[in-house]
Structure formats: C-alpha cells, structure tokens
Structure 1
Amino acid sequence: MEKDMDKPTSAGDSSTSRTGTRFISRDTATMGCGFSNFTTFRGEKQDFARLVMPQYLRLAILDSIRKQDVDGGDQHFQMPRSDDDPCCETPIVVFINPNSGGRHGPVLKERLQNLISEEQVFDLHDVKPHEFVRYGLACLEKWAESGDACAKETRMKIRVVVAGGDGTVGWVLGCLGELHQEGRLPVPPVAIIPLGTGNDLSRSFGWGGSFPFSWKSAIKRTLQRATTGPICHLDSWHVVVQMPGGEVVDPPHSLKATEECDVDQTLKIEGHVPDKVNCYQGVFYNYFSIGMDAQVAYGFHNLRNDKPYLAQGPISNKIIYSGYSCSQGWFLTPCMSDPSLRGLCNILSIHVKRANCSEWEPITVPGSVRAIVALNLHSYGSGRNPWGNLKPEYLEKRGFVEAHVDDGLLEIFGLKQGWHASFVMVELISAKHIAQAASIRLELRGGEWRDAFLQMDGEPWKQPMSSEYSTIVEIKRVPFQSVMISGD
C-alpha cells in the first residue's frame, strides 16, 4: 500500500482506470449471485448517489493526500469536464478504524465503499485524519478560491463520519480542530458509527452504544442521519502536565511532549519546582481521572496488550475488566494494609476556577475518596451518568448548574472504593459531588507513593512522583468547540 501511495498519478492513467476496474469486478461478482442481488446493489448505489463527490474531486483529494502535497491533485482539475456534471448534494467522507468492532471492521469498510465510493472511505491505517485536513481539504480550498464552484460547494457542505471507538473519534476531532486554529471555516461536523467498547461520545450524541447486529440496514440509516442530522457542539479540554525533569513517563497517544509549559505561574505551589521540568499536553472530550480507577484501567490495558487473545470484543473486554477490578485492592484490600491504597488527599491538592471567575479556589479532597473524575459528557463507563440528574433545589444549595456538554464546565466527583463505584455505576447511589469548574489545577507530591495513575478518555498512564518536587496538572477549556452531528 505504501508503494501505491508514493506513486504520482497522472491525468490519463491509472487511478480512474483502477477504480473503475474494481467497481466493474464487484458488479460482475454480484451478477453471478442472481439478477435480484444485482438490482438491489444498483438500487443502493442510486440511493446514495447524492453522497458521492464528482470523480475529479475524489481523485484530486486522494492524490493530494497520497503525495502529501496540496498541489498533488491539480491534474484532475485540468481534465475536460462536462458543465452538466452535478455537484454532490451532501458530500461525506468516512474514517474507519478496521481494528474496531471485532470482525465487523473490514466488512463494514467494504460495505461503505460500495455504498459511497472507495475514495471517500479512508482506512486509518492508510490515511491519517491530519493528512486529510492538511492536504485533502486544503486541495478543495485551493481550487474553491481559484473559482471551481463544485470544489467550493463541496468544501462548504462536507461532513465526516467516524467508524470507531471514543479514541478514534477524539483523534479525528483533534485533527479537525486545526481548522479552528488556522481560521479555515467551516469545520466539518462529525457523526459516529460506534465500534468501541464504551462509546460514550457516541451515546452522548444519539448514535447508540454499540454496533447493531443488523448492521447492513443500520449503516444506511446512519448515513441518512449523518447527512440530515442537526449540528450541535462539544467542549474539549486542554491538559498540561508539568513534571520534574529526569523522570520518565510513558504517555498515552493523546498526550504529547512539548517544549512550552503553559501553566499558571500566579498560583503558589505547595511543594518545590526543580530547575528542569518535562512537559506534556493533550486534549480530552469525555473525562480526566486520577486514582484507583485509572490504576485498574492501566493494569487492564497492560494485561490486554500482553495477552491480546483474552480480549476479542466489547463483551469480553467488559468481563475481563470487571474481573481485573475485583482482583485489585480497590475492592478487597483494606486501605490501612498498604500505603499505596490510601485516599488521594495524601498526595493531591486541588484548585479550581468556577464559572465567570478568574481566581483560583482551593477544594478539599474528601479523605475517603480514592478516585477523582472530571467529567464533560453525560455518559461515562459505557453509558452511566455518575453525576446524576440532580434536582433544582440540590443544584441551588450546592451552587451547581445543570450539566451540559457545551456549558464550559467540568463536573468533578469522587469514588470512594470499588463497591461505592459499582453502586454509583448502576445508579443505586450518587457519586461524591465535589465541584463544577471552568479550570482545574492538580498538584501531586509523592510522600510514600512512588507513582500516581491518571487517564484521559480511557487512555491510562503511570505518573512517577517525587516526595520533594511537585507534579502539576492543569486543565483548561479549549477556546473553540468541536462540531458534532446529532443522531437523535
């Protein structure tokens, strides 16, 4: 595949004929199954013709991405075309993670390519979302500015569908966020085909919590909703981790090393800051957590990586995760027996900025709490709402407001131990409500603890700590919102 991607595509060759050959072979194979199947296939193609971009645009986008050059598809705009060729009514592109969804991933990819076109369905192994943004969309923008009416209309109307789990959706949203930063508007809105284990982003925007067994008909309904669904918005949150220099951290995919450590210097640090620090930054959409829940997630991820045969799909993942949780001290070991299992108040201090407030306010960490979660969505842990639907009088008493995904606030709550977390997740009791915040500052110092465990949107990591120097984690809202499509 890499060799094909590196080949330049000329005006008269190759891409068009190769694509045409593939579709002809599929039609021929379908005819062999009987005229009825052939007619059905043709009918489905006709039903979704409004989603298919003109061929010259599809090939120009694909060549620009393959060559990683905005000018890489120019030859397709220079070919003779009929003025009667219609522009696409509702253009979409699909990013699919074929590793998600168990055995459905590759079959789903082929199904989508048949319904739309091969050039509009991107396998994330071959085409990364930032490549689409920097080269594919930029190609459309270039020719829109040059007067190509169809390129302009396509760029204005294009929508994105992501087939994958929450991590895949977050990856695509993060890359589309570059458009905000560069002023390249409008930003394409995103719909979701849920292929992950938790699918909390998908649940929150009405796309469901799992991939249905009757997936062939479901795909057609999803494509219909993706092109007609209303637009809504989602807050995203920027995380900066400042840690003592010399420490080694194995960060998750969503956390990248950075030279700039953009933490607020006006707030006094309780510990010490060394002369040299390492900094990491990233973005999350659903939640950030610290404590025992992240430790369990970290152990489960390592177990799954070491023994991938144990986790063959969402159901087996959940069973193994539950069993692994029960084997940890969060459930069965008294806190007193091991210093590493004591409450977070021993290693953590929290400051927050409330809505419309510029001053940091200290927040008491309850002594019984062993996991703290800052939640953005209504859905956490495969569809649960641990914050709960709080009554107006309780909200007023605590100084809270009703939670929304676009209100610029995170809901901070605590979990005491595994049993408490289990009862919270089945909504028999509520989580320990701590605060609502527009910004959060966490300060970690080790004491007898050598490591803390943190996670962002299901990606956990082990954070080394020092008894002398502080590790700072600062969370602020990204100034622009992600654009979503409602599936409700």
Structure 2
Amino acid sequence: MKKLSFNVCDFGQYGKFTFPPNSVTTRKAGKKLVVDRLDLPEQKDFKPIIALVNTVCGSCTGKVVYRSFLRHLHPRQVIDVQKENVKAALQWIDDYPEIDVRLVVAGGDGTISNVLETLEQFSRKPPMAVLPLGTGNDLSRVLGWGSGTDGDLNILEYLNDVHAADVQKLDRWNVMIKSKNQFGRRTVITNKKMSNYVSIGVDASVTFGMQTTRKSIPKVLSSRLLNKFLFFSFGTKDVFTRTCKGLHDNISLYLDDKLVELPGIEGIVFLNIQCWGAGVQPWKNADEELPQKIDDEVFEVFAVTSSFHIAQMQVGLASPLFIGQAKKAVVVTKNGSVLPMQCDGEAWMQTRCEFHLTHHGESMMLKKLDLSSTQKTFF
C-alpha cells in the first residue's frame, strides 16, 4: 500500500498577500461579520492587502473590481464600503501591529477622502494604494496608479505592484470655514480635510454643476464618459456666463500672514499634489526655485482667469497664474457674495466666510515603482 503524501499549500504567488482560509476567525458584530482572531502564516515577506471598494463608483466598474478581488483574496480582505462599516472591518489592524498590512482603495476622490478620514481614528495608519474608478483621479496619477480603469485589469499583477510599492508620505491639510448662520447671529465653524486641492471660483462652479446634475441621473447611467461630457458642458457654459468674473474683488488673500494683491481672476487653487483638473500639472513650468513636493508641509497657489483658460491648460496651451507657496492661508470673502468652493472634488456654494488652510498631518500612501502611466490627460 502506498503511503499518503501530505503537502502544505503555500498559495504560490498569492501567498505573500492573501490570508489562508483557516487563518481568519470571525464573529458577529451586529448584523456584520468582523475579524476576531488571526493566525499569521509562515510566509516570508507576508504583507496582506485589504481592498476597500466603492461598488457604485464608475457605473458597473466598481462591482466588477469587487468580484475580481474576491477571486484573489480572502473574503475578509475585500470590503464593500457601500455596505460595510469600514472602521469595524479594519479594527483588527490596531489589534495586530506585527502584521505589515497594506490597503487598496478602489473608487474616486470622495472614497479616498472618506477612508483617510476613517484611518485618522486608528493608532496605526497602514499605507494605501489607489485603484482609480472616478473621473479626475489626480492623486492616483501622482502615485503612479494611472488615470482610471474600466475594470478590465490584471488583478494579480496589480496586487503584486501594491505589494512591491514604496511608502510615500502625503500632507493632509485642515480647511476651517468660519461663517454666520442664516440669521447672522452665530458663528458656524466647518472643518474639512484636504489631500489634493481646494479651490474657490470657476473650477468649483463647474464641479458643482456636474455634481448637481449627476444626482438627478440614475446611477446605472452614470459613467466616466458621462462625467467628462458634463465637465465639458458646464465648462463651455461658463465661457459665456462667466459666473465668477471679478473674483479678485470679492476676496482678500493672505499667505503666511501677508496680504497678496491679486490680478483679475475667476478662480484660485490651493494645490497639495502635482496634478489638478484630471491630469494637468500646473506647477511644472513654475520657477525652479519653487520645487513642489507632496510631503513638505507647503502648498502651491495658482489662479485661472476663466473656464476657457482652464480648457487651454487641459491641452497644454497655457500655464496658470503663479501666486506662490505657503504654509498657511486665509481667504476672507467680501461684499456678501456667495461663491462656489470645492475640496477634493466635493463642491458647494459658500456664503460670506473666513477660510483658513493649515497643516493637519500626514497620511501614508503607496507609490507604484513604475510611473510610466501617470501623465494621461483628461481628454
């Protein structure tokens, strides 16, 4: 009789980032399952990857990506941010500091911001890669993860890239807005966090128009192509309406406590990363003595004169108006004007206010080793 041979499965090329099925014990937390106990596999250079996927992002693309991750990772390593409590799903990260975990966020700028905000509540903040499903995807471009995907990607190759990626610090900024309530009697303070850029004026106006229109369109019809069409439509409309004309007369700008005299502009942008407006690199033609970094606790400030100026920048025919660099900024709006503002892709109409931008801290991101695909433009 032949003796049975027992071979231990090492999961091959998946072993360095996937938990074996029997290594994860779960428990019920309300109606959801959460990780209760982990047994660390004896795998050299083991770095488990947790994928957080916005399944409603990019029309059907989010669902396609979610199913692809499920085919390659342990089910507890794949989180649908639309259905699961992200904080509860990641709680085990603080309980097992010896595990070198890495995160992937598959979604748009809003999804990335929400996950970064959630990680603020953890004592340990694992580094995060991006799988771009949104429209602009500027942070993804800067970190080397590309301008977008339609879901048709090699997940195994992508996971290997995440496993091998370098850790990159990213400045995070606090946006504090002081305004009066509708009766003008009480000061209302709103705080937001910025990782990419915050702006006032024409580009925020276009984003706000897109945002408002998208909410009225069924999600099943939403797509990156539709978002580009909306961007083009609202940008073209503003060429004629010029809703933010004379912005320089309606705001006072202070950089590092110094009043800045502004030229005739329709928009001003405070930039933390190298890309803006879906692939434009506004600072690449700036003075060489003003280098741009994403981890130097300094932001860049530039202005645009119209939506047509933005369109020229999109195709490389114009540069922005360079205002300068600073560690903090204050903008005071005047004349009771209501101005469009946006922070990392979230736009709103802002009544008269004081706007304060100060350094908040750092997040840990993952930068792809091969940066050949980062500079694809919006159109």
User: TM-score, length-normalised on structure 2?
Assistant: 0.87
1:161 aligns with 2:76: no
2:55 is paired with a residue of what secondary structure?
coil
Counterpart amino acid of 2:81?
L
Separation of aligned partners in 2, 1:443 and 1:85 = 56
Separation of aligned partners in 2, 1:104 and 1:301 = 19
Q: Say which of 366, 370, 378 aligns to 1:485.
A: 366
- Report the alpha carbon displacement of residue 373 of structure 1 after superposing the two structures with TM: 0.5
Match of 2:207 in 1: 297
Q: Say which of 307, 317, 322 aligns to 1:418.
A: 307
1:434 aligns with 2:344: no
- Kindly report which structure 2 residues correspond to 1:296-315, keeping only aligned pairs within 5 A, or say none: 296-308=206-218, 312-315=222-225
- Report the alpha carbon displacement of residue 87 of structure 1 after superposing the two structures with TM: 6.1
**If each structure's helix is expressed as a fraction of its own residues, which one has the higher value?**
1
Q: Say which of 336, 351, 354 aligns to 2:254.
A: 351
Change (3 A) 1:130 1:198: same
Q: Say which of 269, 272, 286 aligns to 1:390.
A: 286
1:388 is paired with a residue of what secondary structure?
helix
Aligned partners of 2:64 and 2:151 also within 8 Å: no
1:481 is paired with a residue of what secondary structure?
strand
- Report the alpha carbon displacement of residue 153 of structure 1 after superposing the two structures with TM: 2.9
1:409 aligns with 2:298: yes
Match of 1:124 in 2: 81
Change (3 A) 1:161 1:341: closer
2:129 is paired with a residue of what secondary structure?
strand
Counterpart amino acid of 1:228?
A
Aligned partners of 1:161 and 1:191 also within 8 Å: yes
1:363 aligns with 2:260: yes
Match of 2:131 in 1: 193
Q: Say which of 222, 227, 238 aligns to 2:163.
A: 227
Separation of aligned partners in 2, 1:427 and 1:114 = 41
- Report the alpha carbon displacement of residue 66 of structure 1 after superposing the two structures with TM: 5.8
Separation of aligned partners in 2, 1:224 and 1:239 = 36
Change (3 A) 1:426 1:118: same
Deviations 1:204-233 (A, max 9, x none): 100001115641x2x111100111111111
- Report the alpha carbon displacement of residue 381 of structure 1 after superposing the two structures with TM: 1.1
Separation of aligned partners in 2, 1:421 and 1:166 = 20
Deviations 1:257-289 (A, max 9, x none): xxxxxxxxxxxxxxxxx6521111010111100
Separation of aligned partners in 2, 1:58 and 1:197 = 36
Change (3 A) 1:377 1:65: farther
- Report the alpha carbon displacement of residue 234 of structure 1 after superposing the two structures with TM: 0.6
Separation of aligned partners in 2, 1:405 and 1:65 = 40
User: TM-score, length-normalised on structure 1?
Assistant: 0.68
Separation of aligned partners in 2, 1:344 and 1:92 = 46
Separation of aligned partners in 2, 1:308 and 1:292 = 26
- Report the alpha carbon displacement of residue 49 of structure 1 after superposing the two structures with TM: 2.8
- Report the alpha carbon displacement of residue 483 of structure 1 after superposing the two structures with TM: 0.4
Change (3 A) 1:418 1:44: farther
Change (3 A) 1:241 1:484: same
2:135 is paired with a residue of what secondary structure?
coil
Aligned partners of 1:162 and 1:190 also within 8 Å: yes
Match of 1:378 in 2: 274
- Kindly report which structure 2 residues correspond to 1:23-38, keeping only aligned pairs within 5 A, or say none: none
- Kindly report which structure 2 residues correspond to 1:236-251, keeping only aligned pairs within 5 A, or say none: 236-246=172-182
1:458 aligns with 2:339: no
Which ranges of structure 2 fall in alignment gaps of 5 or more residues? 1-8, 371-379
Separation of aligned partners in 1, 2:110 and 2:28 = 27
Identify which range, 275-284 or 49-58, moves more after superposition.
49-58
Bigger Rg over Cα = 1
Separation of aligned partners in 1, 2:217 and 2:41 = 53
Aligned partners of 1:191 and 1:485 also within 8 Å: yes
Match of 2:245 in 1: 342
Separation of aligned partners in 2, 1:238 and 1:405 = 15
Q: Say which of 439, 445, 457 aligns to 2:334.
A: 445
Change (3 A) 1:453 1:464: same
Greater relative CO, 1 or 2 (CA 8 Å, sep 6+): 2
Match of 1:94 in 2: 51
Which ranges of structure 1 fall in alignment gaps of 5 or more residues? 1-42, 142-150, 248-273, 354-359, 396-400, 466-470
Aligned partners of 1:310 and 1:316 also within 8 Å: no
Separation of aligned partners in 1, 2:330 and 2:318 = 28
Change (3 A) 1:289 1:300: same
Change (3 A) 1:65 1:373: farther
**If each structure's strand is expressed as a fraction of its own residues, which one has the higher value?**
2
Counterpart amino acid of 1:189?
P
Change (3 A) 1:194 1:342: closer
Separation of aligned partners in 2, 1:165 and 1:44 = 34
Separation of aligned partners in 2, 1:389 and 1:204 = 17
Deviations 1:180-222 (A, max 9, x none): xxxx24x21001111111111110100001115641x2x1111
- Report the alpha carbon displacement of residue 311 of structure 1 after superposing the two structures with TM: 5.5
Deviations 1:428-463 (A, max 9, x none): 12101112111010111234x3x1110001110011
Separation of aligned partners in 2, 1:58 and 1:125 = 23
Separation of aligned partners in 1, 2:10 and 2:144 = 25
2:312 is paired with a residue of what secondary structure?
helix
1:277 aligns with 2:180: no
Aligned partners of 1:386 and 1:427 also within 8 Å: no
Change (3 A) 1:411 1:484: same
Separation of aligned partners in 2, 1:172 and 1:325 = 30
Q: CA RMSD in A?
A: 2.6
Deviations 1:341-375 (A, max 9, x none): 4311221001111xxxxxx1111121x20100111
Deviations 1:110-129 (A, max 9, x none): 12111111111000022233
